[in-house]
Each structure stands twice: as structure tokens, then as C-alpha cells.
Amino acid sequence: MFRTIFKGKSFSGGVKVPENKLTENESVEVFPAPKRAVLPLAQHIGAPCEPVVKRGDKVKTGQIIANSKAFVSAPIHASISGKVTGFIKTITPSSGKVVEAIVIDSDGEDEWERMEAMDLSAPRDELLKRIRDAGIVGLGGATFPTHVKLSPPKDKRIDTIILNGCECEPYVTSDHRVMLEEGEKVLLGLEVIKRILSCDNAIIAIEENKENAISHLRDLIKRKKISTEVVSLKTKYPQGAEKVLIKVLLNREVPLEGLPFDVGVIVQNVSTARAIYEAVFEGKALIRRVLTVTGMVKRPKNLLVRFGTSIESLIDHCGRMEGANEVITGGPMMGISLPVLDLPVTKDVNCILVKRSLRIEERDCIRCGSCVRACPMNLLPTELVKYIKAGMYERCSEYYIDDCMECGSCAYVCPAGIPIVQYIKVAKNEIRRRVKGGS
Amino acid sequence: MPGPHIRKEVSIEKIMYLFSLALMLPAGASIFLFGRHALFIILTGVLSAVFTEYIAKRIRRQRFRMDGSALITGLLLALTLPPRLPLWMVALGAVFAIAVAKEAFGGLGYNIFNPALAGRAFLTACFPKEMTRWVLPFEAVTSPTPLNSGFVWHNGKIALYKHLFLGNVGGSLGETSALLILIAGFLLLALGIIDWRIPLCYIGTVALLTFSFGKDPLFHVLAGGLMFGAFFMATDYVTTPITGKGRIIFAAGAGVLTVMIRLFGGMPEGVCFSILLMNAFTPLIDRYVRPRPFGWRKTDEQKRGS
């Protein structure tokens, strides 16, 4: 069962980025429950939820306040106890989309509504249902509903579970702290995943810059006699991208337009595993997460934050520094800069990075080929940009634009400062629009 | 605004100035070997190239910026010229290189041909006599380059290699000293500015082919402009393919052409024209030599067309 442990495995392409993990030694601090929580109805990929509460309703912490009948969706829970005081429109910090949100004003009691605790002996369907009821989505940033990911089509045999603790984005340390401080919960969450998928072969992948997390989890595994292997990977961006990770660990390539289960693999994030633990063993819905507040703040921290908390209040808590004029949710490579700060923390916010905005002049491509060498998907970013600029969108498909995962490695190394990812995003939308309009 | 919100410490200027800094080695050698006139040729080349760029940008109503690319073109052109070329010819070559080969095609990033080599080719066509007047280093005696048919050597092979390696032979300003080209070239390789595939495949192809034609491969590698061209001309970003595989094809093609011209052509040296010819193939190579995308399978080919 145990395969040889390779140290420093890596992949072709990608980039070395300064790690800047300022908060790797900061213990997670519990951020007080906010007086008011703003909870967007779409915090996941899939169908948005419909409210199941009315204005004036009293709600308890952990109570479902919005749900959907669709399979690919996840319910939203009250993150504080109190009264529903209204419905507003807000912007989700990570997608930038305008969505409906429920506003709850706290009664200061923080009275919980819990589900019944379960254990590993529960039937598989019950466990899956619990994960859905707890509103769990991929906490690495993808926000794909976890119960969907854990229900692969019947004809796909899963032989390996990968627990992703790479955290290859600079600055972000939330997964790192979760592994260190709540390693047991992560491992028990993984046992739930194993049980659901009837697959006992699991690998926890961690970049070698988190050595203490690697040895901590290895110790726990040894003590608990679990059949799980912790693999140390080279610190290189984007090591934690699903497809890259599967290639590095198992030498399997997820086919074009395919998903990990096409090669017998399911990848889950370590923080998601922790959320699964809380849902199953403690009956707690997903109403908070660990996130990193870092960059140009006086006291960079890892905070355990209730969803719906204002991002601005977190930055104020950590003390914004003079000269900072931009706030990014997510890491600096794939994160999004926020138009305004008065936005709620949602399920996918793993990091709030305060920084000075980068001013880069876009120049003409000098065809140096750096982007070609950096692309982990073996695409030709500069050729894509050339065709996008010329409006030749059919050519873009021929150059496999859909396989771009927008990791940003190409733009990071570009000496001409070309915002390649931005071009590609715009083109992808345009191609999608044309396909829709044409057929 | 999507990411990335951080960037590598790199810019067009940084690359260009590091490249020109490396070129100072062969440039310095040329002044040491061929004297004051070499310095004048270099200065004339650089100044006329930069000035032409300025005028061209004014005419095209674009912003002129000292990005270092015109400086490199002037420097590279000067280093490929014979040591006694009249300065006005140097200037004319630089004007052609920048105005016609570079700016007329759209400026940096859009030119098809290596501007410096285009300038040299232009001068060779216009002034065939002056462009083949070679002198020996340290003395004003006319002498053929090692590749010319008039070249004779009596002092044994090792001494010849030594002379070629150090640069104590007739030839263009920057091409004679293999030693300094190698130092500069390895500097650029270490800095990650040039791709190792190109010099390796170019020089390797020439060595292999000359050997299989029964010639002395070491002589053909050290003599003439091969080293200079392989490290500094065939590695030009704009005019060579962007993929690793494409660059290997480009370099091997240039190697084949160089040997063909040297052994069977009407000219003693073929580096300049072989690179220019391969420049013309670069768009074609980039169109058809593409890496296999991640997760690609045989069945994907029909789905999307090639």
C-alpha cells in the first residue's frame, strides 16, 4: 500500500515565486462573531440558493437560511444567531458577480443549531447527505460542491484520493495552519472521504516549505496507524493545481476537457477535509473558515472568521499600513482585486492580501518565449494573445485556450508586462457567448 | 482585475542591457585586436542605429524609448563588419537595419529578419569589395580570413586552433575570438537570457556535417562567424521560434545551410545568410511545431483539427 516516498517531486513549466509566507508561524486566532452578517446566496459553483427565511425571522447559528433543489448546489447557513433584517444585493469577493444576500443582525447569543453527530459507521448516502446539508464546498478556492465531487459517475473507478495541502500561492498560510493545528480533524475528514469513495489509498500532498506540517501529519498517521502517505513536493507554483498534482504524484494526465475522476482520482483540499470532519463528527455546518490576512498590514494573521463578516473589519483588525491601496482576495497569483472593501467573507476566501497596486505598462511582445516555458499546460500563451488581439477566436480554440487554467505563470514572467490571463479570460467569455448565440 | 498581482523582476530593458553588457566582451576584444578604428566602427554603428530608431519613431508618431534594442542592433552589426570598413558605410548599414529591417515591419517584436544581419547583408550586396577586405590583428596587413581560399597556414594544427581560439586571425570585428564569445555566451546562458538549444544545435550540426564531409570540424566551429552567430544572432527572440522544439529545428537548419554555403556555395562564409534564411522560416515553424498540450490524446486531433 505504501509507495516509496519521493522528496521534492516536481513538474515541467511553472514558476518560482517569492513565498512571502509572513504568517506561517501565527497561530489561528478566533475572530469574534460580527454584529451583522451578509450572506450571499451563491457561494459555490452551481445553482444559486433560494432563501428559506423571511425578513424578521429569528435564526440560530448553523441553521439553513437558503437552499436549492438542484444537485450541484450547497445550502447557506446562518453564521450568527439573530434576526433576518433584510435582503440586499452585494458582490461576491472572489467572482465579482452581483448576487442577492441575506442580512442577519446578531442577538449576541450565538445560539447554535447542530445536526446529530455521526461516525464512520454511518451509511455512505447519509455521509454524502450530511456533507451537502452542511453546505461544504471546495475550500481551496474552487467552491465546487463537495458532495457532487464525492459522487463520481458509476463507471469511474476511483483508486486514489489526493488531499491537497500544497498551498502553492505566495502569502497564503490558512491550509498550513489547519494542517498543523487541526491535523487530527483533517485526517478524520479524510477517513470520511475514503469511506464514501470505498477507496483506502490516499496521498496527502504538501510542498516542502511546510516541513513542520509534513512531519506533524506523518507522526499522526503513524500513531493512528492510518494507511495514508504524506508526500513532500517541490515548492513551485502552481504545484497545487489539481491536474498538475495528479501528474506529479501519479504520472497520470487528466485528458483535455476531462476531470480527475477520468483517471481514477479525486482531489480534495485539506481545509475541506476539516470541514467534513466538523459536519460529520460534530454536526456543525460550514459557517466559518480559516483565512490569512497579510501583506501590508501591521499584524499579519491567520483568523478563524464567520462567513458574512466584512472584509474591511478584518483589515482594520490587522492594521492597514500607509501606502496600501489594493486588496486582493485569494493569493497574489490567481486572486481578484476588490472594487470596494465592504464585502462579506464567503466560503472561498482563503486569503486577504493588502498591497500597493502594481502599475505595469503593457508593451509589445518580444517573443522571448518565457511564457511558453512557464505554462504548466504546455500551451503557447503569446500565440493565444496574438490571435485574441486579432479577433481570431477560432484560432484560439485550435490553440487549446479552454485548457488554460488561468494560473498566471505566463503573465508573471512576461518581460513586456502583457496581462495574458486577462486577455484569455475575455476571449473565453467571448467564445462561450458566440457558441451560445450561434447554436 | 484578475491576477497575477505580482510580477517577476524582469523587463525588456533589463534583458537588452544585460545582453549588451555581455557583448562588451567581444567588443572590447575587437578594439584590442584591431585598434582604434574598431572603436569608431562600434560607436558609429550604435549611434546611427539609435538615431535612426528615434527618427523612425518620430515619423511613425510613436513614442521613442531607449529600450536597448536599437543599441544591440548597432552593436551586433558593427561586430560583424570588417575592421577597415569606412564609417559612412557602417552608418548606412545601421540605417538600413533599423529603418528597413526593423521599423518598416512594425518595430521591436514584429520584424521578420534579424535587423543587424539584414544590415550586414545589405552592405555585402552594395559594397562587395570593402566588405571582404580583411586585416590581421595588431597589424594593418591585409590578410584573408581562415575560411577564404587564399588562407594558408604552416605552423601546425594546435597553433592554428590556439590562434582561432584567442582571435589572432583575420575576420569581422567581434567574431575572431572564440574564447570571449564563449565567456559572453555562457554568461547569457547562466542569466537565462538565451536558450542553450540554439548554440548547441547550431554548432553541433556544423561540427557533425563538416566531419561527415571529411573536413576538420573543430576548424569549422572556431573559424568565421559561427560562434558569434550561434550565441548572439540565432538567439534573437523576435526572429527565432518561441518553442524549444522549434528552436532546435531553426538551429539545425541554420547549421545545414551554413555548411552548404561554406563547402559548396560561392561564398567562403555562410552564417549571416543561413540565419536570415531560417528567420524567414520562423513563422512557419511556429505555426506547425507546437507542443503537445497537457492531457492531449490521439483522439483529440480529429476533434479540433490541427
Read off the pLDDT of residues B75-117 as tens digits, 9 standing for 90 and up. 999 999 999 999 999 999 999 999 999 999 999 999 999 999 9
- Based on the fold, state whether residues A16 and A160 are members of the same structural domain: yes
Q: How many domains does chain A have?
A: 2
ipTM of the shown complex: 0.91
From the list B10, B292, B305, the residue facing A413 with the nearest CB is B10
A260 has a chain B CB within 8 A of its CB: no
> Which residue has better confidence, B156 or A27?
A27
pLDDT at A8: 53
Please state, in angstroms and rounded to a whole number, the distance separating the CA atoms of residues A6 and A214.
13
What is the DSSP pairing of strand A336-337 with strand A326-329? antiparallel
Which of B172, B153, B173 is closest to B163 using CA atoms? Answer: B153
Q: Please, which pLDDT band fits residue B301 given cuts at 50, 70 and 90?
A: low
Residue A291 and residue A302 in contact, taking contact as beta carbons nearer than 8 Å: yes
Please state, in angstroms and rounded to a whole number, the distance separating the CA atoms of residues B98 and B105.
10
The pairs formed by B191-198 with CB atoms below 8 angstroms and a separation of 24 or more are: B191/B18, B193/B15, B193/B18, B193/B19, B193/B22, B194/B231, B194/B235, B195/A369, B195/B235, B195/B244, B195/B247, B197/B244, B197/B247, B197/B248, B197/B251, B198/B230, B198/B234, B198/B235, B198/B240, B198/B247, B198/B250, B198/B251
Residue A192 structural domain? 7-25+116-281
- Based on the fold, state whether residues A276 and A377 are members of the same structural domain: no
Please indicate if the annotation marks A371 as binding a ligand. yes
- Based on the fold, state whether residues A244 and A381 are members of the same structural domain: no
A96 has a chain B CB within 8 A of its CB: no
**E strand or H helix at B88:** helix B87-95
Asked whether residue A44 is assigned to any structural domain, the reply reads no
Within 8-37 of A, beta carbons closer than 8 Å to B belong to 15, 17-18
The pLDDT tens digits for B167-201 are: 888 899 999 899 999 999 999 999 999 999 999 99
Asked whether residue A1 is assigned to any structural domain, the reply reads no
- Based on the fold, state whether residues A158 and A17 are members of the same structural domain: yes
Q: Which of A389, A400, A422 to mutate to test the interface with B (most CBs of B within 10 A)?
A: A400
Residues found in chain B: 306
Q: What is the CATH number of the domain that holds A235?
A: 3.40.50.11540
pTM for the complete prediction? 0.92
Residue A91 and residue A104 in contact, taking contact as beta carbons nearer than 8 Å: no
- Based on the fold, state whether residues A17 and A124 are members of the same structural domain: yes
Burial environment of residue B41 by CB neighbours within 10 A (0 to 12, 13 to 18, 19 or more): buried
Asked whether residue A83 is assigned to any structural domain, the reply reads no
Domain final residue, candidates A262, A281, A300: A281
Domain final residue, candidates A218, A250, A281: A281
For residue A34, give the C-alpha cell: 460580527
Please state, in angstroms and rounded to a whole number, the distance separating the CA atoms of residues B70 and B80.
16
With an 8 Å Cβ cutoff, are B6 and A330 in contact? no
What 8-state DSSP symbol labels residue B130?
A: G
Give the gap in angstroms from C-alpha A339 to the nearest C-alpha of chain B. Answer: 9
Q: Please, which pLDDT band fits residue B306 given cuts at 50, 70 and 90?
A: very low
Cα A174 to the center of its chain, rounded Å: 11
pLDDT at B303: 52
pLDDT at A436: 78
Q: Look up the CATH number of domain B12-288.
A: 1.10.3430
Q: Please, which pLDDT band fits residue A391 given cuts at 50, 70 and 90?
A: very high
Please indicate if the annotation marks A168 as binding a ligand. no
With an 8 Å Cβ cutoff, are B293 and A377 in contact? yes
- Based on the fold, state whether residues A263 and A156 are members of the same structural domain: yes
With an 8 Å Cβ cutoff, are B7 and A417 in contact? yes
Please indicate if the annotation marks A351 as binding a ligand. no
Domain boundaries, chain B: 12-288
Can the peptide bond before residue A238 be classed as cis, meaning omega within 30 degrees of 0? Answer: yes
